[in-house]
Amino acid sequence: MPDFSNKVAISLLIFLSLCCLAAPCLADDELEVWGSTSPGNVLTPGESATAVYSVSYDFESDDESLQLYTDLLSPKWTLSILIDGVSHNLPSYTGRYVSLSGFELYYDDSYSSVVKISLNGTAPEVSSTGNYTIIRATWYDYAGDTVDEEAVEATIVNPSDIDGILETRRSELASLKSYIDEKSGLGVDTGSAEKKYNAASGAIEEAEESDSAAASILLSSAKTYIDESYSLIDVAWAEFSIEQAESTIDIVNGMISEYEDEGLSGDSRVWVIQSYIDNAETLLVLAKDKFSLDDYDSARDYAEQSESKAEQGYDYAVSLNEDLDLKSPTLAATATSTKSTKTSTSTATSTSTGTSDSSSGIDDLISDLGGDSDLGGVDDIIHSEVDLDSAIKILSMIGDALMDAFDYLSSLLSMASDN
C-alpha cells in the first residue's frame, strides 16, 4: 500500500517548484532608464544637447501609458520601440511633453519591450545654476495614477554664478592652507592633505581660464578635493594625538620602572604616578577604539585627555625625582599644548617633600580621575558604548590598579604592625 505521507511530501515539493518557476513572471512595476547626454551633464544656456536613452517597462494592459518630459527648449523626439530586439519606429514629436499610450506600447508578457529615445534640444536660460530635467519618464496605470517615475538630470550653469562660486572656492582654499599649516606646525603628517590641496588649487586655476560649463565642473572638483583634504587631516591629527599619548605614557612608565628598581614600588608617591598612568592608558584604549570606528574627533579628544593625564603623572614624577636627586627624561612638544584649556599639575608640587605632601597628592588625584573635556569622567567613559576588546583591556587595567592598591595598603599595614 502506498505511503500517504510520501505522496503529500512529493505534492508539496512539486507545488513549491512551480511557485519558484512562476516568480520571475511577476510584474516588476519599475521603470529602468539608461543612456547618456552629449556633450555632458553640465550645460550652459543656449547650448545644444542630445540625449540618447532607453526605457524598459512592464505594462499589464493597454490601459496604461508612458509620459516623457524635458526642460530643454525646442525639443525634437525620435522614438522607437524594441520588441524582442526588433525595432519599430514610433511617430516623431516636438514639445516638452510626449504621451505614449498602452495601445502603442503594450505587448504580452512573453515579449521584452524597450522604448528607445533620441532627444535634441537647447539648454534654457536659468536664473540660478542647478539641476534640470533632460528626460523624465512617468508610468501611469489605467486610473491615471503614477506607478513609477525616473528622471535624468543635468546641471545648467548660470554664467553670472561662476564668479561667485570661484571666489568662494578661493576663500575655502585659503582657509584650508591655514589649517594645514597649523596642523603641520604641531607635527601632524599633512602630506596626503597637501596633495588634495594642490589638486584643488590646480582645478581653481584652470577654472579661471575656462568657459562656464567647464568652470562649473572644475569648481565642483575643487570642492571635493578640499573636503577630502580636511578628512585626511582629521585622520592624521587623530593618529598623531594617539602617538603623542603613547609616547608620554611610555616615558612615565619608564620612570616608574626606575622607581621599582630603586625599591620604591610601595612608595605612596609612586602609587600616585601609577594611578595617573592607569587613567591615561584607559583613555588611550578608548581613543583607539573610536579611531577604529572612524570617529576621529572623539578619538583625538580621548587621546588628548590621555596625554593630559600622562603629563600630570610626568609632572608628579619630576617632582619626585627632584626629591630623590634623579634625572628626568624630557617630554617632546605635544599637540595638547595647543588646546584652549589644559589642566596641568602645579609647579608648587616640586617644592613639596615628605609623605604627608604625597598624601595630599593622592587626595587631589582621587578628585581628578576624570578627563579634561566635557566628555565626562573616566567612570562615565567606561560606562559608554565600547567594543568587547576595549572593555576587556579596560577591566584588565582596573584589575592591575586594584592589585597595586592592595599591595600598597598591605605595605602600610605591615609598617604599622612593625611600629
pLDDT in tens, 38-61: 998 889 899 999 999 999 988 888
Q: How confident is the model at residue 396 (pLDDT cuts 50, 70, 90)?
A: low
224: nearest Cα among 196, 202, 253: 196
Q: In what order do the strands lie in the sheet with 130-140?
A: 42-43, 146-156, 130-140, 65-69, 97-101
Burial of 281 (0-12, 13-18, 19+ CB in 10 A): buried
The two beta strands, 65-69 and 130-140, are antiparallel
Summarize the confidence of residues 271-284 as an average pLDDT.
92
Could you identify the residue written with the cell 536664473?
A: 127
> Measured between alpha carbons, how far apart are the two ends of the chain, in Å?
99
Q: Which domains does the chain have, with CATH numbers?
A: 25-156 (2.60.40), 160-233 (no CATH), 241-418 (no CATH)
381: nearest Cα among 367, 366, 397, 370: 370
The b-or-e profile of 304-321 (16+ CB within 10 A means b, else e) is bbbbbbbbbbbbbbbbbb
Summarize the confidence of residues 273-298 as an average pLDDT.
94
Long-range pairs of 263-269 with CB within 8 A, sequence gap ≥ 24: 265/407, 266/407, 266/408, 266/411, 267/358, 268/355, 268/358, 268/359, 268/362, 268/408, 269/316, 269/320, 269/355, 269/358, 269/361
Question: Cβ(242)–Cβ(305) under 8 Å?
Answer: no
Please, what is the average pLDDT of the chain? 79
pLDDT of residue 210: 92
Q: How far apart are CA 315 and CA 252, in angstroms?
A: 9
Question: Cβ(135)–Cβ(117) under 8 Å?
Answer: yes
Residue 359, H or E segment: helix 354-366
Could you identify the residue written with the cell 601632524?
A: 188
pLDDT digits (tens, 9 = 90+) for 219-261: 999 999 999 999 999 999 999 999 999 999 999 999 899 888 8
The b-or-e profile of 61-75 (16+ CB within 10 A means b, else e) is eeebbbebbbbbeeb
Question: Cβ(83)–Cβ(107) under 8 Å?
Answer: yes
Summarize the confidence of residues 354-376 as an average pLDDT.
39
pLDDT of residue 133: 97
The two beta strands, 113-122 and 48-56, are antiparallel
Percent of the chain whose predicted confidence (pLDDT) is above 90: 51
The two beta strands, 42-43 and 146-156, are parallel
Q: How far apart are CA 25 and CA 108, in angstroms?
A: 11
C-alpha cell belonging to residue 276:
595617573
Q: How confident is the model at residue 192 (pLDDT cuts 50, 70, 90)?
A: very high
Question: Cβ(351)–Cβ(323) under 8 Å?
Answer: no
CA distances 146 to 29, 31, 60, 120, 149, Å, are 10, 11, 14, 26, 7
pLDDT of residue 4: 44
Output the pTM of the full model.
Answer: 0.59
pLDDT of residue 407: 61
Hey, is 375 helix, strand or coil? coil
**What count of other Cβ atoms lies within 10 Å of the Cβ of residue 277?**
26
CA distances 364 to 226, 249, 307, 309, 350, Å, are 45, 20, 18, 13, 15
